[in-house]
Amino acid sequence: MSNQFNPRDVTWLAFNERVLQEAMDENVPLHLRIRFLGIFSNNLDEFFRVRVAGLKRAMDFKDKFITESFYQQPTKILQQINEVVIKQQQNFSKTWKKIQLEMADQKIFIKTAANLTEEQKIFVSAYFDETVESNVIPILLHENSPMPYLRDKSLYLGIAMRKKEFHYESKYAIIEIPSRVVGRFVLLPSQDKNEKNVMLLEDVIAFNLPHIFSYFGYDDFVSHCFKVTKDAEFDLDNDIKTTLAEKIEKGIRSRRKGKPTRFVFDREMDKALLEFLIRKLHLTKKDSIIPGGKIHNFRHFMDFPEVFKTYTKPEERTSFDHPELVNKRVTDVIQKTDILLTFPYHKYTPVIDLLRESAMDPDVKSIQITAYRLASNSKIVNALINAVRNGKEVTVMLELRARFDEESNLEWKQILEQEGVKVLVGIPNKKVHAKLCVIKKRVHNKTIQYGFVSTGNFNEKTAKIYGDHLLMTSDRGIMADINKVFNVLRKPKTDITAALKSCKSLLVCPQFMREKIILHIDREIEEAKAGRKAEMIIKTNSLSDRSLIEKLYEAATAGVIIKLIVRGIYCAVNQKDFKQKIQAISIVDEYLEHARVMYFYNKGNEDIYISSADWMTRNLDYRIEAAAKITQKNLKKEVKDLLEIQLNDNVKARILDKKLRNEYVNAGKTEFRSQIETYHYLKNKIPKE
């Protein structure tokens, strides 16, 4: 039975390998290759903080875990993970070495303490004195003293110190690299104007070690970086006297004490220091102890300094205005017709403009919106605050449990409540992941409603790099259903099932979206069995829900044409008895493919939905999610065309198969890159002057 599914965590590693492939691809611009290395590293950090930590906890509850993970033993999966990660880490190191050679061709150099010019040595010493030293706290390590608290996500410099006359006697110390405060990269002066020299903060500190430890009399220093990844999960207690916000705050504090799930170190590290650290951290062979290169916390390289002169941003990577919204009030347009925004090709401005217009419109009475991950300087929040100041009733459903955004969302809660916004914090044991907004206005004693439904977060920063859809509409059915969702969120003790059952225009989770998806698949199965055309196209970030995968198997056995575009986790496997093999691809390119879309042929009537939910059990059964049906004829065609463009990709599409080989689709001699073709398709909709 287990061979009918690919293990979830192993397929996720296959996705991260696709990210690494982008860094390895010499056709990708150099600065983007460095960024992909940063994304790969950040992804892996979160994977160990969440999934590997969960696997280790699950080893104590094997029966439950095996059921949820397609009959895979946690120990077996952990072994597979370690084997794959070590291999990927080797490819990562090779790729970074190659990229540095290409950077050198452009006269861009990563400098260390060993290869500074005299001028640069003076600069680095002065920079350390003026900017860094006040943020550096050296900690001496002793055999008989407990290991000091090490922060997750932080980078540390492990130092072995000796006196030359007593070379065999070492003292050890660690220093946390204060990149949060100072930044990771330092641009150094150069006599050659065409040359760019970048130094990492840990190397600035390493250069100044004799100064830092001068009062100890040591004259021989060896230093190497390491980091510890910790279990990021926390449990919320059941104390009815504390609010959810207080429980989240307590959980964040407890997360800092999480057990280590991975120890990554420079393979050149002093052997005695390495053994000392492993012993002090109570790590064993069961833990992920991974030797790496010199540089760690590579996630910072997503923001590598802009030192690449030869790169000019192509036209296809610039956002443009939606043609129907140019020089028009968004409010006026969407009361007459639906508008589909496709990011990052379309500018995000209309979303903010709509909220700004609503904040100023004297007829607008209320705004209700969900928030999961907000931009750091959110224009969405600014518009909502302006609405409150103008006398509107504003309600924000703020998901405090958005993983790794808990602290920032607690801060947003305080800011919003101080301004008079009514903040909802959700339902016990169910995250609110739906992307919804409804605006109400009263004109001549008549209530008018409009708003939007999205596949992605209301975040103007990520909208520049995440591929998503957002439907702006005044459809009465959709607005009525959004109101029903907010009514449930206002009364978290309500029977959710009963309250959401009457939704007719939105597919909602928990429960009802799953039921509707199964109904749609069953309809296609019936058509296939009758010998008629039956087809479905599903675009999602992850496909791991067992019952839906089995339903896809049933459809493929009946002869339904199934085409899947899955960015990340993909647990399905083609079976021998399928009448129609499942066609599955994954696209990894400059933009993160984040949209969720469902297409069902439905006897030629073509049902199309955009959704916030992935095909994962957690989304369908344990979250509040929403999918909106696209009903306007021109928009249905547009969404279908965009799906077909992606299905024809033969540049950035990889085949998803049982062996997880990430082989590129090679169909046809003419290159067809879907993100570039999507740009041209949407740009061509702009009327020619």
Q: Around Cβ 238, how many Cβ atoms within 10 Å? A: 8
Sign of CA dihedral 308, 311, 317, 320: positive
Residue 427: strand pairing partners: 430
Helices (H), 546-632: 546-558, 617-622
Which listed residue (346, 433, 520, 594) is catalytic? 433
In this structure, are residues 419 and 445 in contact, taking their beta carbons and an 8 Å threshold? no
In this structure, are residues 224 and 155 in contact, taking their beta carbons and an 8 Å threshold? no
Angle, CA of 369, 373 and 378, to the nearest 5°? 75
User: For the chain, first and last CA: distance in Å?
Assistant: 61
N residues, the chain: 689
Select from 343, 348, 314 the least CA-distant residue to 330.
Answer: 348
Tell me the Ramachandran region of residue 376: left when phi exceeds 0, alpha when psi lies from -120 to 50, beta otherwise: alpha
Q: Which helix (H) or strand (E) holds 62?
A: helix 62-68
Helix-helix angle 546-558:512-529, to 10 degrees: 10
Cα(604)–Cα(614) distance, integer angstroms: 25
433 noted as active-site residue: yes
Place of tokens 């939704």: 503
Place of tokens 């309809």: 523
Helix-helix angle 8-24:74-105, to 10 degrees: 10
Residues involved in catalysis: 433
